[in-house]
Amino acid sequence: MYFKSVYKNYVLIGLLLILSQTGLMAQKLNIQSPNKKIKVALLKEQTGADKWFLRVYYGDTEKKEEVIPRIDLGLSRSDQDFADQLKFIKAGNPVLVTENYSAIHGKKSINTNAANEVVVSFQNPSKSKLNIIIRAYNDGVAFRYQFPESGGNFVVKDELTAYTVPPQNKRWLQKWNPANEGLYTAMEGAKNTVHQEWCYPALFNSETEKSWFLLHEAGLDETYCGTKLSDALDTTKYKLTFPNPQDGAGQGEVLPKITLPWKSPWRVIVMGSLADIVSSTLVDDVSPPSAITDTSWIKPGAVSWNYWSNNHGTKDFKVVTDFADLAARMDWPYTLLDWEWDAMGNGGNLEDAAKYILAKGVKPLLWYNSGGKHTYVPATPKDRMLTHENRVQEFTKLKKMGFVGVKIDFFESEKQDMIKYYLDILKDAADFEMMVYFHGCIVPRGWTKTYPNLMTYEAVRGAEWYNNGPELTATAPSHNATLPFTRNVVGAMDYTPVTFTNSQYPHTTSYGHELALSVLFESGLQHFADRPSGYDELPDAPKSFLKTVPVSWDDTKLLDGYPGKEVIIARRKGSAWYIGGINGESRTEKTKKISLSFLPQGTKYKLLLIADGPHDKAFFTRRLLVDSASTVDVRLLRRGGFAASLIPLEN
């Protein structure tokens, strides 16, 4: 359920708007966030070229740190350019944008989209208009382009947006790949680093280490393509670039086609402390409100999943029923039937499986190949999601059999035609009250706010990679401690976590580390990936924890951490709190003193702590009575971790 109210106020506290002219080279506009910590300046080059750029500052005092010294602006359209020789026309009246909305799943249930906004108007030498809409938030900056004139169809040849990042800044970047399933590389600065194309989101830490920022985009729709970052041509800048021609097996146009009037997606900079980054909902905040009126059928929940432990599990009716039984024993509402369900044998077919699952009080989800010429993967059924007519036919059958959601795989492109395909799926699924999980896909762009039936995305190197090779065995501890600061900041992430047994390649993370991922990683459908014995053989405390741990949250707070080294996050559901913490380092044990000062004062809580035992396959369980003045010492093995629940005493 979403509720919305937007107010525009022309007398704003906290908004500084200055437009001075001491000659053509001195035009300047500043806009501050409501809490005055973030300032965005619009400046013009002193070269006479009439090029405009943004500069972003952050800090608690008047003397703020210059975090991003320059963001180049501009677009190149098939008929003309909007970059050089842009004449400033006016800055519109400043407005306070306020939208309150609720989210069915995610890191927070009640959210506020609050910013100070200014629309700045320009014209190029042919007197065609370009607006730049700039917003300053308490947790970041967002801006977008607008062609306000009506009439005409054009191709966008290039977007000139480029972020200049000081060379001393630390950075965490993932090499571009269409599935967004790489590892993040931590770099101390720009010197001696590889220069190439990079995935969203990209994390940076300023030279002073006081401010952090995460680059992303949001509000992407069928009027544009997805973009990525590249420093291949200019090593001092991360420029937005369009999809590569070979993406999606070479299908689809690279350059987006637009019809005026038109607005670009938002260019989003999440900014502040690491805690601000982790708790931010800015990517959703700037995105359009819910297009679904009745959301009562959208139910987040845990899912049993047979692929990780048995790559051909859904081909076997007995395996399918075993995982339905697991979901029933663990009080998980869903089980997923992955690929090869159309070849199911050994006692039953798809219809038999659906009946069995429903009889157990569990609801089934079903996998599909996205189909089409954009993927070379031949796995069937391949084309049943490809057209509106096919989807209507398939969703009608699924609804009749009792299926409540679909997992759709192998998109492999972020070209404009593929963005439209994603959104068409979500619209048709909503008409049939079907939840959706995208796999082999785009990184979140805020779509869950608009289509809350979009429960989760893959777009991460998750536990599935234990099937693909030995690399994750060594890299998972640090990788897992990086994702809460990067990929999972911008939206739901189905890592398929919490595995205690091994797949084709073993993991070296402790049992405590694996349990912690149930809290650390946010996903509206949380696919727990281990085989039934992996959960059945757990001690009572961790088994009970996994039966009750939520997958959607009312609040999220970072308690401690640093990318790749460690992370401790607290999440609230109702009046209860849950904590997950991991050690991302492979050589050093740690003892962390955890302050519970985030708890409301005056309430006692029953703390259940499930931490590392004497070795990585053992747990240590402790129960305490605590309050907001309490601290708790927790020992983490190397590659270790812990999980905890805090239940109010009156409950």
DSSP structure string for 229-295: EE-SS-TTEEEEEPPPTTGGGG-S-SSPEEESSEEPPEEEEEEESHHHHHH--HHHHTSPPPS-S--
Same domain, yes or no: 270 and 309: no
In a domain, 235, yes or no: yes
Q: Whole domain around residue 567: which residue ranges?
A: 494-499+510-651
Mean pLDDT over 45-60 rounds to 90
User: Is it the case that residue 11 has pLDDT exceeding 60?
Assistant: no
Same domain, yes or no: 37 and 158: yes
Going by pLDDT thresholds of 50, 70 and 90, the confidence category of residue 22 is very low
Among residues 285, 316, 336, which one ends one of the domains?
A: 285
User: Which pLDDT does position 489 carry in this prediction?
Assistant: 98
Same domain, yes or no: 450 and 532: no
User: Is it the case that residue 343 has pLDDT exceeding 90?
Assistant: yes
Going by pLDDT thresholds of 50, 70 and 90, the confidence category of residue 49 is confident
Residue 464 burial (C-beta neighbours within 10 Å; 0-12, 13-18, 19+): buried
User: Which pLDDT does position 86 carry in this prediction?
Assistant: 95
Residue 614 burial (C-beta neighbours within 10 Å; 0-12, 13-18, 19+): exposed
Same domain, yes or no: 411 and 273: no
Looking at the 3D structure of the chain, how many domains does it have?
3
CATH number for the domain spanning 341: value is: 3.20.20.70
Same domain, yes or no: 325 and 423: yes
Same domain, yes or no: 240 and 318: no
In a domain, 18, yes or no: no
DSSP helix/strand/coil, 401: helix
- Tell which residue, 475, 469, 487, has the closest CA to residue 173: 487
Among residues 285, 313, 340, which one ends one of the domains?
A: 285
CATH number for the domain spanning 191: value is: 2.70.98.10
Same domain, yes or no: 255 and 330: no
Mean pLDDT over 133-146 rounds to 98
Among residues 260, 285, 310, which one ends one of the domains?
A: 285
Is the CB of residue 141 less than 8 Å from the CB of residue 270?
no
Share of the chain above pLDDT 90, in %: 93
User: Which pLDDT does position 496 carry in this prediction?
Assistant: 98
Sign of CA dihedral 238, 242, 248, 250: negative
Same domain, yes or no: 560 and 649: yes
User: Which pLDDT does position 193 carry in this prediction?
Assistant: 76
- Distance of alpha carbon 29 from alpha carbon 239, whole angstroms: 23
Same domain, yes or no: 358 and 393: yes
Same domain, yes or no: 534 and 439: no
User: Which pLDDT does position 7 carry in this prediction?
Assistant: 38
User: What DSSP state is assigned to residue 65?
Assistant: E
User: Which pLDDT does position 651 carry in this prediction?
Assistant: 57
Task: Tokens 């300046």: give the residue.
Answer: 41
Going by pLDDT thresholds of 50, 70 and 90, the confidence category of residue 1 is very low
Going by pLDDT thresholds of 50, 70 and 90, the confidence category of residue 28 is confident
In a domain, 505, yes or no: no
Q: Which token pair is 272?
A: 């502040």
DSSP helix/strand/coil, 145: strand
User: Is it the case that residue 361 has pLDDT exceeding 50?
Assistant: yes
In a domain, 590, yes or no: yes
Going by pLDDT thresholds of 50, 70 and 90, the confidence category of residue 17 is very low
In a domain, 489, yes or no: no
User: Is it the case that residue 14 has pLDDT exceeding 90?
Assistant: no
Q: Which token pair is 162?
A: 């480029």
User: Which pLDDT does position 192 carry in this prediction?
Assistant: 67
Same domain, yes or no: 257 and 390: no
User: Which pLDDT does position 27 carry in this prediction?
Assistant: 55
In a domain, 189, yes or no: yes
Same domain, yes or no: 277 and 334: no
Mean pLDDT over 493-504 rounds to 97
DSSP helix/strand/coil, 422: helix
- Distance of alpha carbon 550 from alpha carbon 526, whole angstroms: 9
In a domain, 602, yes or no: yes
Mean of pLDDT over the chain: 94
CATH number for the domain spanning 514: value is: 2.60.40.1180
In a domain, 121, yes or no: yes
User: Which pLDDT does position 63 carry in this prediction?
Assistant: 86
- Tell which residue, 94, 40, 68, has the closest CA to residue 165: 68
Is the CB of residue 279 less than 8 Å from the CB of residue 556?
yes
pTM, two decimals, is: 0.95
User: Which pLDDT does position 15 carry in this prediction?
Assistant: 41
